[in-house]
Amino acid sequence: MSLLYDSHCHLDAPEFDPDRAGVLARARAAGVTRQLVPAVDRAGWDAIAGLCAADPGLRPAWGLHPMFLDRHQPAHLDELADWLARHRPAAVGECGLDFYVEGLDPEAQRLYFQRQLELAREFDLPVVLHARRAVDEVIASLRRVGHLRGVVHSWSGSEEQARQLFAMGFCLGIGGPVTFERAQRLRRTVATMPIEHLLLETDAPDQPDAGHRGQRNEPARLAVVLETVAALRGESPEAIAQATTANARRLFG
């Protein structure tokens, strides 16, 4: 069985409250031996810290997600600096920009994003990035801050944008959307991109694969993403699993 690293799953989400232990057991049975669990708000840091302390296969990332602006306060950025100094997570995030969802103040998003990038550089940590209809601005922010590494999760950008990120050493997180045949641009990118920049993810409980559309996603289904990526690239699932797991471990431990 191939050993897999789910580079993005929200195991702290309330959707998993009824059966979180079973979700983890199914993930392990499917070969998913390590998972990065990124926070979306300040309240999530404590919950994720507890989950990761109880399971050595889970790695924490702490940040402030752009879609949850109503939960954030500027003081949380100071608290984040303190948490990074005291606890040393695997990454900063999930953070970024979202210009798709209506009603999210772009300037407030930029304020939180900029400071989180600065903290990632200050503490020499990778960043887990959300970039929806905002890839060009995210790339510009990364260049402006400089000396950063990490992943743009749930990649949906162009091949040219991907090349710019590769030049900066960033990875792309590929999950359930790649299993949909209509995702032709994404599939072309995945088929030809350098494998050293490829990470696999589920984004569970969100973004299920095509065969489980409308259902709660979970980390065990990373195997479906693996099979699709391998087929698109004309490589063995074992080779893809080995490379992407090594990439994720290099970034997040």
Tens digits of residue pLDDT in 84-109 = 999 999 999 999 999 999 999 999 99
In this structure, are residues 226 and 4 in contact, taking their beta carbons and an 8 Å threshold?
yes
Tell how far CA 223 is from the center of its chain.
17
**How big is the chain, counted in residues?**
253
- Cα–Cα dist 250/230, whole Å: 21
- Cα–Cα dist 159/192, whole Å: 10
In the chain, the amino acid numbered 250 is R
Phi, psi of 68 (to 5 degrees): -115, 45
3-state helix, strand, coil in the chain (%, to 5): 55, 15, 30
pTM above 0.95, yes or no: yes
User: In terms of Cα–Cα distance, which of 5, 78, 89, 92 is closest to 40?
Assistant: 92
Placement of tokens 């050993």 in the chain? 3
- Cα–Cα dist 31/121, whole Å: 33
- Cα–Cα dist 105/7, whole Å: 28
Phi, psi of 7 (to 5 degrees): -85, 5
CATH fold, domain 4-252, is TIM Barrel (3.20.20)
**Torsion from C-alpha of 31, 23, 199, 135, nearest 10 degrees:** 170
Give the pLDDT score at 2: 83
In this structure, are residues 199 and 247 in contact, taking their beta carbons and an 8 Å threshold?
yes
Q: Which runs of consecutive H residues, i.e. helices, occur in the chain?
A: 20-29, 42-54, 74-87, 106-122, 135-145, 159-167, 184-192, 222-233, 237-252
- Cα–Cα dist 41/65, whole Å: 6
Residues facing 36 on adjacent strands: 59
Give the pLDDT score at 1: 74
Segments in the chain below pLDDT 50: none
Six token digits for residue 35: 């998972």
Identify the DSSP state of 97.
E
Q: How many Cα atoms sit within 13 Å of 112 on the Cβ side?
A: 34
User: In terms of Cα–Cα distance, which of 248, 165, 167 is closest to 200?
Assistant: 248
Give the pLDDT score at 49: 98
Give the pLDDT score at 215: 97
